[in-house]
Structure 1
Amino acid sequence: MARTSVELFAGGGGLVQAGTNAGFRHLLVNEYAKWACETLKENDFAAYPEGSSPPVPEELRDGERKTDKHKTPLVMGDVRKLNMTYLGEHEVDLLAGGPPCQPFSLGGVAKGDEDERNMFPEMFRAVREIRPKAVLCENVRGLLRQSFAPYFQYIKRELELPFVERAGTTWQEHDRRLKERLQARDTDPTQRYEVLEFPVNAADYGVPQIRNRVILVAFRADLGVDRDKFREAVKETHSKRSLIRSFFDDTYWDRHRTVEKHVRDGVERLYRQEELQLDNGDSLTPWLTLRDALVGLPEINLKKLDKKTPQGFPDHIGWPGARIYPGHTPNMLDHPAKTVKAGVHGVPGGESVMLLDKRERNQETGHLDYIHRYMTVRETARVMTFGDRWKLMGPRGERMRQLGNAVPVRLGEVFAKAIHAALDDVESRS
């Protein structure tokens, strides 16, 4: 059965795609950024102005032609002006979203809850207004820093008891109140959530990218979800050990038969010491690499890095000016990509540059050096496991920003599918 969801901070649509792939039907999404809204509109979401309460979309039946009444409403604008109480009479299975992470990012201003960009309170308000069966929240690993530990524990307690409102007090005072309520164990289970925390690396879930995040999942306490079974369902599926082994048993190169020997030799030299230390205990699937992600995309014509010539695929356009310098090392094809970042201008340094298999003679040293170029938007979307049919809107920098801020689709899908299965399991036992 198709379950229902509401998503806040939808951005360029990573978690939206994950929810759809996992079998959730979106009743409402919200986003503030102009170009992210344009992306969602281009992907058939129905736009509504800030603060509006749009009609609940009808479920599309088998064989029925999709019309406007079936489209997911996108309310554009400030989430703080979004009233979700009209959804209270509808049973919402999942509330999902990644509240803006700048206050907690290792590269941010580190002001924590005092930063006006902290949108966790809006997630908790949404829980009160729509009473979902489950909540899925993704954020940066900066939340797990020691300096943020007390506040992160407070966030989890606030998600556990979202109906105990802060009401103008400091977070420390509110946290004391939450602890007292939890110790009393007198909260109605329909107003309490069981919270699970998952530090994750997206590469461990089949995303061709090193991306360390923290995911919070909460289930309404009255449902009796089997938490151990859920944890089992979201265990890592891929590993670096298996990738290294695949280099030396040739299963990796069997997938990439056109790679020249000098490239293979270089990769194997890089991992030789690690390969010698491997045992046979890891049965997980190999990490996927940047080379894996790019399979099927046309090769970029290096003579047409002109910012305008599509090279056989949407958003697959060369971009000149890529540089390598200290602190901005490029992506290697035979390794998961570096973390895709939004960047101040949407095009960060080494994270969007890649080394190619091609070599050219260095006129100063006489050595054969590998050449490099910027990754295209489509290549970056592949690294984020976005669907090839998903359209991204805006200038290149804005499209890269949307990708850098998104949840990798495949990572979100693992957790969304596990939530769907957990709720199905509850109903089968009732």
Structure 2
Amino acid sequence: MQAVELFAGAGGLGIGISRAGFRPQRIVEWNRHCQATLKANASDEQSEAGGWPDHVDSDVREVDFRDLEGKLDLVSGGPPCQPFSLGGRHQAHADSRDMFPEAVRAIREAKPRAFIFENVRGLTRQSFRNYFEYIRLQMQYPELTSRKGEDWAEHLSRLERHHNSKRGSRGLEYTLLTEVLNAANFGVPQKRERVFFVGFRNDIKTGWTFPTQTHSHEALLFDQIHGTYFDRHKVARRERLVSERAKARLLRVDGTHEGILPWNTVRDAIHDLPDPERNPTLASRHSAHRLQPGARAYPGHTGSPLDEPAKTLKAGVHGVPGGENMLARPDGSVRYFTVRESARLQTFPDNYKIEGVWSEAMRQLGNAVPVTLAETVARSVAASLTKKG
């Protein structure tokens, strides 16, 4: 199946959709460090991105998608999230970095059978409610464009009237579902919430729904308290830390939900990597696994405990990312995650190269879509596109 990847970043969403059977025909990404990462992996036959287009379009505003009309099964991407990020300036529609209009244009021009877009959970905040609805309705009716001199609120009103009308034919139209997904609930060793927009062109008849979660916090607690989690990892008894609050939580739930797996933890993700601070010689044998000095904990930035999924990795606005990108050991000490560890927390394969110095590599990973989460959503979309009758 043929796809186009917009705002590709480091390639997390792209790898996920490729695993689901989609083949990127065009890739768009403006950041030069992300471009270097995408090109390095496209030219590597051993990489999961090997064979991707070696040309990356840099400015989505200059890309004409009309030559792809009728040829695409999927358009996907993560429009820049700074306008909606809880850590940003929250300007939304007033922010020139808002690239959702370009995502809608790609849908309008290419008319794909389906699309997958994702963004930060902050987009669903109450203060952005009207603009969130505006994005939704534009994706549903991409041909109903804004008129000259019409502001976004006026355009929203016209889209709402169109949506509520009883007309028969309404041009290009998509059935759209949106949902906030926590990556930890799908096997990613990181608590990372993203909002997904998934649409199917109206001639594609499908009863698609978002995938149901496969992992849970309660199942992890049960495994740690009553199961074999700590024994599997050969954790000393003094380091088997499960809070009383967590134990109380487990008592309040009915069993561990049959068929639900435990959340994956930081320890699950990096247990086989030597500690780069305590054993730098062994650590250096692993690519991109070197200590970055200078980590310190302070209120609000205390690092990620080993025996939970990591806190959300952050991109960092001014260079070095925040305390969420640190490992918090049971003895209270902290250090920064290495690039290799961060890539594992985002479920990138070990042979995937992240180009750039540490701060730039961490920025790419902090902005990325976890590969496993992307794959889960993309596989369910692919199944709906390929099912018979």
Partner residue of 2:339? Answer: 377
In 1, the alpha carbon distance for the partners of 2:22 and 2:349 equals 17
Residue 252 (str. 1) matches residue 229 (str. 2): yes
Residue 328 (str. 1) matches residue 308 (str. 2): no
Q: What does 1:26-425 align with in structure 2 at a 5 Å threshold?
A: 26-44=24-42, 71-89=52-70, 91-168=71-148, 169-186=150-167, 188=169, 191-227=172-208, 230-231=209-210, 234-256=211-233, 258-264=234-240, 266-267=241-242, 269=244, 271-280=246-255, 282-283=257-258, 284-302=260-278, 304=280, 311-357=284-330, 359=331, 370-425=332-387
The Cα of 1:180 is off from its aligned counterpart by: 2.1
TM-score, with structure 1 as normaliser: 0.85
The answer as to whether partners of 2:275 and 2:283 remain within 8 angstroms in 1 is no
In 1, the alpha carbon distance for the partners of 2:296 and 2:279 equals 17
In structure 2, the CA distance between the partners of 1:136 and 1:101, relative to structure 1 (3 Å rule), is same
The answer as to whether partners of 2:302 and 2:328 remain within 8 angstroms in 1 is no
The answer as to whether partners of 2:3 and 2:73 remain within 8 angstroms in 1 is yes
The answer as to whether partners of 1:189 and 1:220 remain within 8 angstroms in 2 is no
Q: CA RMSD in A?
A: 2.2
Deviations 1:304-360 (A, max 9, x none): 49xxx9622111011212111122111100001000010123432321111235x4x
In structure 2, the CA distance between the partners of 1:167 and 1:74, relative to structure 1 (3 Å rule), is farther
Partner residue of 1:6? Answer: 4
Partner amino acid, structure 1, of 2:191: I
In 2, the alpha carbon distance for the partners of 1:208 and 1:241 equals 15
In 2, the alpha carbon distance for the partners of 1:164 and 1:211 equals 34
Identity %, equivalent residues: 42
3-state SS of 2:36 partner? helix
The answer as to whether partners of 2:28 and 2:58 remain within 8 angstroms in 1 is yes
The Cα of 1:82 is off from its aligned counterpart by: 1.1
In 1, the alpha carbon distance for the partners of 2:172 and 2:381 equals 19
In 2, the alpha carbon distance for the partners of 1:130 and 1:317 equals 43
Partner amino acid, structure 2, of 1:399: A
Partner amino acid, structure 1, of 2:267: R
The answer as to whether partners of 1:247 and 1:268 remain within 8 angstroms in 2 is no
In structure 2, the CA distance between the partners of 1:11 and 1:215, relative to structure 1 (3 Å rule), is same
The Cα of 1:181 is off from its aligned counterpart by: 1.8
Unaligned runs of 5+ in 1: 47-59, 61-65, 360-369
In 2, the alpha carbon distance for the partners of 1:175 and 1:187 equals 21
The answer as to whether partners of 1:197 and 1:214 remain within 8 angstroms in 2 is yes
Unaligned runs of 5+ in 2: none
The Cα of 1:407 is off from its aligned counterpart by: 0.6
In structure 2, the CA distance between the partners of 1:189 and 1:285, relative to structure 1 (3 Å rule), is farther
TM-score, with structure 2 as normaliser: 0.93
The answer as to whether partners of 1:181 and 1:187 remain within 8 angstroms in 2 is no
